[in-house]
Amino acid sequence: MTVPAPTEGAEGQLLVVGAGTMGAQIAQQAALHGVDVALVDVNAQQLQHAMASNLEWLERRVDKGKLEPQAADAAANRVTPMDDLAAAAAGSAWAIEAVVENAEVKRDIFAALDAHLPAQAGIATNSSNIVVSRLADATGRPDRCCNMHFFHPVLVMDLCEVVRGPATSDETCARAVAWSHRMGRTPIVVEKEIDGFIVNRILGAASREAFALLAGRVASAEDIDIAVKRGLNWPMGPFQLSDFSGLDTVLGVRRDRMEREAAPGDVATVEILERMVGAGRLGRKSGRGFYDYAVDPPAPLPPPD
C-alpha cells in the first residue's frame, strides 16, 4: 500500500485506553502535535502517575531548550485523564488500546469501545504481539480495526507499524496512516498479519540467536552485547535491550510465540528468561537484569542457575 500524505484536521479527538508507559506516551505524543486526547484508565493512581511522568518529560525538554514553555503547557493541557470509558468514547473519532498484553482483556476493551464510540470511529491496538484478528470479532466493526504498533519510548521512537487484519478496510488502513502522520510519527503498512510484524521479527531473530549463544556458553551476555554494538553498530546489545524492555514483558511475548510458532532458539530464550524473572530480575525497572543498575555504568551479572 502506498502511504498517503498526511491530512490536516481530518479527525477529532483521540481516545487512548490504558495509562501505562505506552498509553501515556502515545497520548502525550499526539498532544504535542495539536491533538486533543482523552487518556482513560480505571486506576486513578495510574492516571495520576502517567500525567506526572509526562509533565516531567515536557519540563526536561523545556529545560534543554528543545521545547518552548508555551508549547509544553499546551501539550500538557490537551491530555484529559478520565476513568469513564463510555463518556470518553462518545466524543472520540479514533481509539488506540494500550492495555496489558492479554487477549481476553483486550477483547473486553474492544467490545466496550464498539458499544460507545461513534459508528465511523476506528479502533487500533498498540500490541506488538496480539494481532487485531484476535480482537476485531469482539466488535461489530471488524473492518474498522487494525494494529498501530508504536515503539518504546514513543516520545523518542519515530516509527508506527500499521498492520492490516483480514477484515481491515482500505479506508481504515489509510486513516491509521493519517493518524500516525497527525501524531508526528512515520507509518509503514504491514499488508498481512505475521508474528512480530517487521521490526520485532527481524530483531527477534537476532535476539534468539544471542540467547542461544548465551545458553551454549559461547560468550557472556556482556561480550555478546559488545559484539553487536561494535560489530553491527547497534545502539544497544540484545541483552541490554531486553533489560530496557522488561524481562517479564519479553518473556510473555517469547513464550506466546513459542506456543504458536516455535523457532530455533525459542526454548533457550524462554528458559533463560524464566530463570531471570523467577529470581525477580526484571531489568531496569527492578534494578537488576542481565546488568546491575544500582551502579554507574551498569555492571554485568551472570544469569541465575
115-128 pLDDT, tens digit per residue, is 999 999 999 999 99
pLDDT of residue 259: 81
Please identify which of the residues 33, 49, 116, 149 carries the catalytic annotation.
Answer: 149
Residue 38 and residue 44: Cα distance in Å, rounded? 14
Residue 288 has pLDDT above 80, yes or no: yes
What are the φ and ψ backbone dihedral angles of 194, each rounded to 5 degrees? -155, 140
pLDDT in the model for residue 261:
72
CA gyration radius for the chain? 20
State the average pLDDT for the chain.
94
Query: Distance (Å, rounded) from C-alpha 92 to C-alpha 158?
Result: 24
DSSP assignments along 203-271, one per residue: HHHHHHHHHHHHHTTSS-HHHHHHHHHHHH--SS-HHHHHHHH-HHHHHHHHHHHHHHS--TTHHHHHH
Cell numbers 459508528 correspond to 119
Q: Region 28-56: what's the mean pLDDT?
A: 98
Cis peptide leading into residue 69 (ω within 30°) = no
For 199-248, how does the pLDDT look when each residue is reduced to its tens digit (9 = 90+)?
988 998 899 999 999 999 999 999 999 999 999 999 999 999 999 999 99
Query: Is 126 in contact with 109 (CB distance < 8 Å)?
Result: no
Nearest-angstrom CA–CA distance, 103 and 3:
29
Distance CA 74, CA 35 (A): 10
Evaluate if residue 7 carries a pLDDT over 50: no
116 assigned to active site: no
244 closest CA partner among 161, 153, 130, 157: 153
- pLDDT tens figures, 88-103: 999 999 999 999 989 9
Q: Would you state the pLDDT for residue 198?
A: 96
The percentage of the chain sitting over the pLDDT mark of 70, rounded to a whole number, equals 96
pLDDT tens digits, 250-286? 998 888 878 877 666 788 899 999 999 999 999 999 9
Q: Is 208 exposed, middle or buried (0-12, 13-18, 19+ CB in 10 A)?
A: buried
Region 2-14: mean pLDDT is 59
Q: What is the pLDDT of residue 204?
A: 87
| Domains of the chain by start residue, with CATH | 13-190 (3.40.50.720), 200-290 (1.10.1040.10)
Contact indicator for 148, 179 with CB cutoff of 8 Å = yes
pLDDT score recorded for residue 183: 98
Which distant-in-sequence residues (6+ apart) come within 8 Å of 73 by Cβ?
A: none
The model's pTM is 0.86
pLDDT surpasses 90 at 9:
no
